[in-house]
Structure 1
Amino acid sequence: MSSLRLVPGTPDAVLSALTAVLDGRGTPFAPVPADPAAAARVRQAAAPDEPLEHDCAVVLTTSGSSGEPKGVLLSRDALIASATATHDRLGGPGQWLLPMKPYFVGGLQILTRSVVAGLAPVVAGDSFTEAARRLTGPRRYTAMVPTQLARYLDTDLDALRSFDAIIIGGAATPAPLKARSAEAGVTAIPAYGMTETGSGCVYAGEPLDGTSVALDDGRILIKGTTLFSGYRLRPELTAEVLRDGWFRTQDRGEFMDGRLRVIGRVDDVVISGGVNVTLPTVQARLLEHPRVKDAVVLGVPDTEWGTRVVAFVIGDPGRDELRDHVAETLPRTWAPRAVIRLDALPMLASGKIDRQRLLEELR
């Protein structure tokens, strides 16, 4: 069996290691971020001293936003299949701008697509606009998380408009942000996927070529050429989520007009005071308030209610105003019982919300 090597999680180092492994002459690797705590999690999940148990080109560590970080084994074929299917959907290969960390799947796949296209990626620095100007390829692409898109709409709108397509992933794209992007003339394509699916595998509700999507009592199942090979040294967990070629995600969804709509996570429905509350629906309603810039809704254990619905909000509306706003379209029992106002939502390096830090705001 092959050994696994650790490489620095910088764009140049990851691109070099990735190019070699995609060419078939390199050895499997795991990119390691510079942050000591994050690096320790990678070393623990990747276990470089242990033999590799599956077909693997890269081991990526999940962000741990919803639990313990896991080492995800991605094969050369899965990486190439994802890059090829993405280019096919977008209209052909192009040059990519990298504004994301390459040790997460979104950033890694920007580099993979660059290698497959044979065009050098451009790494975004302090100025997104200046980086976009350095793109010279026949088609211009990038990918980012919703928070980045919202920021660049304020600061780098002309640069955003210059791209043939911008893939938005890593977290759900709020409806107001989608509308704002469209009105501004920005081609932003919401993508659904995760590390285990080799990055986004469903674009604007439609699976990429080679990917199939099904529902099992509302749970999203994914099958296809981009799936991971397994979890590093976690055979029981691998067997639990990979069944008959289908990956059982932790997300719920529904089909609307033939397109997949992601509703939220399986555990996003909480019981508060004996009432089932769907947290993403409450969050979406809060984001419709004209003075709410961003919001996250969590369920917090509570001795009186069982689970207390808490909203973390960027904006100036007070608790009663937001409760009334939610109750205009949803049951009043769904309205958040606590509202925590913040200047900014804490983010992980992957671009996902740091839920643990939010919970610390309540202590």
Structure 2
Amino acid sequence: MAVDLVPVASEPREVLRALRQTLDGAGPALALGAPAGTTAPAQAPPGTVAVVTTSGSTGMPKSVVLSRSALIASAASTAARIGEGRWLLALSPGYVAGLQVMVRSLLAGHEPAVLAGSFSPAAFAAVTASMHSSVGGQRAATFTSLVPAQLADLLDAAETDAAVADALRAYEAILVGGQALPASQRERATRLGARIVRTYGSTETSGGCVYDGVPLDGVGARIVAGEVQLSGPMLADGYLGEPDRTAASFIVDDGVRWYRTGDAGEFDENVLRVTGRVDNVIISGGVNVSLDRVEAVVRERPGLASAVVVATADERWGQASAVVVEIAALAEIGADESALLSEIRDAVGDRLGKPARPARVVPVERMPVLASGKPDRAALRRMLAI
């Protein structure tokens, strides 16, 4: 029997009230993340807690159906890996990472702390300092989940603000996911004493399900034709009202249901390493070039941790790539476009070969981003096509 599906604004306390009822089986399923002005279906499959509508860098919306059993399985596996306690919500609950912060906290018997309004290091430190609580006379462990941009802001502030530094050290674990975490950022956090856990997953896996390259309990991970595929009880039911799309992304092999992530990856001594998107590849002069690998090399350069590499047309080679960087970052590293391009081309050529060398550097006033905080690569590609 289908369940009612009710749109809920991404205001944290409103989502929390509705989620508490839904997890208890007393409320309707929540429709989260749908763009303003769209009409969500009135019902969802039995057992649904939330339908999370996302729009990735391709700009193609997808409404992911998350069941009670999937969300609880994810939360339980996280608790088994890092422990349980009270969580700070610093992300929008309209996205699965924020939703899971609420689920984990509620299942552990705690009210999640909420960082309301715009994110800032000062607000993060203030809410963290207020999170003292105890269970059976012992202080409850605290956890939070961040995206790399938030962690970068906190690390910068911690250099001059002792309260922010203390806040970062206060957590038993800080989960960081949503996009690649630069190695330099993790090193800075480790030196400060922050306990960072790099997570990998998606809305289709009820959030992160691989921590520091190691799958959570009950999660299967394999590489098929270069693509990362994941299995486990936290997999979504599929895409609401899209059976063909669901069948293409969720496959059954020898009785096991797998999610095709679309990510390229490899195993290094049983540790999963994601190397980029399977489809984020150009053919330049007849040679396949992974733009994710190019971007990884570019971001190793100090000051370019937020640079984005996208495809462009090239009259001679068919396709090439461009490095998009904010003007403020260029000014901070004190390099003009020509000198920086030469430096980047040398670094990429040495690591990945000459065909992978970017063709140009494109300065922008501000990097376009999605509501999730990830770079809007589709917008960048449109901009470069003009």
Please say whether Structure 1 and Structure 2 have the same fold, judged by a TM-score greater than 0.5: yes
Structure 1 window deviating more from structure 2 (271-280 vs 289-298): it is 289-298
- Counterpart in 2 of 1:48? 41
Alpha carbons 1:3, 1:48 under 8 Å: kept: no
Secondary structure of the 1:324 match is helix
Moved more, 156-165 or 317-326: 317-326
Provide Cα deviations, 1:196-239, integer angstroms capped at 9, x if missing partner: 00000000001111211111111111110100001000001111
Q: Does 1:18 align with 2:19?
A: yes
CA contact (8 A) 2:221 2:229 kept: yes
Letter in 2 for 1:281: R
Distance of 1:208 and 1:261 partners within structure 2: 15
Paired residues of 1:61 and 1:72 also in contact (CA < 8 A): yes
- After superposition, the Cα gap between the structure-2 partners of 1:307 and 1:54, relative to the gap in structure 1 and judged at 3 Å, is farther
Moved more, 129-138 or 341-350: 341-350
Query: What residue in structure 2 maps to residue 327 of structure 1?
Result: 349
Corresponding position of 1:272 = 284
- Cα distance in 2 for residues equivalent to 1:97 and 1:89: 18
Change in CA separation of 1:54 and 1:69 when aligned onto 2, cut-off 3 Å = farther
CA–CA distance in structure 1, aligned partners of residues 52 and 18 of structure 2: 13
Alpha-carbon spacing, 1:294–1:31, altered in 2? closer, same or farther (3 Å): closer
C-alpha contact (below 8 Å) 2:182/2:305 kept by paired residues: no
Contact 1:53 1:233 in 2 (8 A): no
* Inter-partner Cα distance in structure 1 for 2:382 and 2:247: 34
Aligned equivalent of 2:130: 134
Is residue 98–residue 124 contact of structure 1 (8 Å, CA) maintained in 2? Answer: yes
Secondary structure of 1:20's counterpart equals helix
The CA distance in 2 between the partners of 1:133 and 1:149, in whole Å, is 17
**1:114 Cα offset (Å):** 1.1
Which residue, out of 50, 53, 62, partners 1:61? 53
Partner amino acid, structure 1, of 2:41 = P
Q: CA deviation at 1:284?
A: 1.4
Correspondent of 2:192 among 169, 184, 193: 184
Q: Distance in 2 between matches of 1:76 and 1:114?
A: 15
Question: Is the 1:54–1:229 contact (alpha carbons within 8 Å) kept by the matching residues of 2?
Answer: no
Shift of the 68–32 alpha-carbon distance from structure 1 to 2, 3 Å rule, reads closer
Amino acid at match of 1:39: A
SS of 2:322 mapped into structure 1: strand
Given that residues 6 and 48 in structure 1 are in contact (C-alpha distance below 8 angstroms), is that contact kept between their aligned partners in structure 2? no
User: Deviation of residue 123 (structure 1)?
Assistant: 1.1
| Alignment partner, residue 39 of structure 1 | 36
Distance 1:250 1:293, change over 3 A: closer
1:113 pairs with one of 92, 104, 117: 104
* 2:373 aligned partner: 351
Preserved contact between residue 58 and residue 378 of structure 2 (Cα < 8 Å): no
Q: Per-residue displacement from partner, 1:19-40 (whole Å, max 9, x unpaired)?
A: 111111111111357xxxx323
Q: CA deviation at 1:360?
A: 4.4
Work out which of the residue numbers 148, 151, 160 in structure 2 matches 1:149.
151
Which residue in the other structure is 2:160 paired with?
none
Distance 1:149 1:308 in 2: 32
Who is 2:64 aligned against? 72
Q: Distance in 1 between matches of 2:358 and 2:192?
A: 32
1:99 aligns with 2:90: yes
What is the percent sequence identity of the aligned residues?
42
2:87 is aligned with 1:87: no
RMSD (Å), alpha carbons = 1.7
What is the one-letter code of the residue matched to 1:221?
Q
TM-score (norm 2): 0.87
Residue matched to 2:3: 2
Counterpart position of 1:257: 269
Q: 1:177 deviation in Å?
A: 1.6
Q: Distance in 2 between matches of 1:100 and 1:327?
A: 38
Cα separation, 1, equivalents of 2:47 and 2:247: 16
1:221 and 1:58 map into 2 onto residues whose CA distance is 23
The answer to whether the 8 Å contact 1:63/1:350 transfers is no
1:273-296 alpha-carbon deviations (Å, 9 max, x no partner): 222112122111112223424211
Instruction: Indicate which of 231, 240, 243 corresponds to 1:223.
Output: 231
Note if contact 2:3-2:47 (Cα within 8 Å) is conserved in structure 1. no
Per-residue deviation at 1:160? 1.1
Do 1:110 and 1:143's aligned partners in 2 also have CA atoms closer than 8 Å?
Answer: yes
**Cα separation, 2, equivalents of 1:53 and 1:310:** 44
Of the three residues 147, 153, 158, the one matched with 2:166 is: 158
2:119 maps to 1:124: no
* Residue 221 (structure 2) aligned to one of 200, 213, 236: 213
Can you list the C-alpha shifts for 1:120-176, whole angstroms capped at 9, x where unaligned? 111114511101111124111000111111111111333111111000111111222
Decide whether the 8 Å contact of 2:33 with 2:95 is kept in 1.
no
